Structure 1
C-alpha cells in the first residue's frame, strides 16, 4: 500500500481519533464507528469488503460514478458510499470524507449533544 492511500487499520484509527468516536462490532463481522452513543458515521467490514460512510446529499451521485466507489448496500438511501480496499480514494480525500461523515452525523444531534463534537 502506498503512502498516498490508507490501509483498513489506518482508516479505523482515523475514525477513532475523531471527537467522542467509539467502535462496536455488530452484525457478525462489521466494525461500526459511531458518535453520541449509537449514531453511526462509518462501518468497516472485517472480511475486507470495504469501508462505508455518509457523504453530503449533493455529492452522493458524483461519488457513485467514480471508479472504485459505489452506493453502500442498505445505506444508499441515506447517502452512504462504500469503497473496497485498496481504497480508490487518496489519503487526504478519504480522511476528509470520514471527518465530514462524522460532522454530518454530529450536526443532526440536538444542540446540547453537539458540544465538544463540532470540528471547526
Structure 2
C-alpha cells in the first residue's frame, strides 16, 4: 500500500475534505467527521482509519497494523508498514471507512453531499 496513493484516494470521495490538524496531521473528513488521518509530510509514514468493529481485531493481528493511538476505542487502526496491505485491500478499507462515517451523518447532510457529487 502506497501511503501517498491512499491519501489521494481519500480526497476523491464525495464530500471529502482534507484539513491540517495538530500541525502535522492530514485529516480526511466527510460532514466534518473524520474517517482517515495521515502524516501531512510527503512521503507519509503511515495512515490510520476507521474499520468495522468485527474487522478491528483481525486487522490489528497482522504485522504492521496496530490499534490507532487515541482512536482505538472507536475501532481505528494505524497502518505503519506499507507492506501490511495491498493497494486493492487498502482502497477497499478506506472506502469502507468513508462509508461508516457517512452513514452516521444526518439524512439531510447525506442528501446534500449526494447532490454535490
TM-score calculated relative to the size of structure 2: 0.88
Structure 2 equivalent of residue 90 of structure 1: 86
Structure 2 equivalent of residue 103 of structure 1: 99
Measured in 1, the distance between the counterparts of 2:97 and 2:33 equals 11
1:97 deviates by: 0.3
Tell me which of 5, 15, 19 is aligned to 1:20.
Answer: 15
1:9 deviates by: 1.7
- Alignment check: 8 A CA contact 1:51 1:82 kept: yes
Structure 1 equivalent of residue 36 of structure 2: 42
Structure 1 equivalent of residue 69 of structure 2: 73
Q: Structure 2: any 5+ residue segments left out of the alignment?
A: none
More helix by share: 2
- Alignment check: 8 A CA contact 1:8 1:85 kept: no
- Alignment check: 8 A CA contact 2:66 2:80 kept: no
Aligned-pair RMSD on alpha carbons?
1.5
Measured in 2, the distance between the counterparts of 1:112 and 1:103 equals 16
Q: Structure 1: any 5+ residue segments left out of the alignment?
A: none
Secondary structure, aligned partner of 1:74: coil
- Alignment check: 8 A CA contact 2:20 2:40 kept: no
1:8 deviates by: 2.1
Q: Which runs of 4+ in 1 moved over 4 A?
A: none
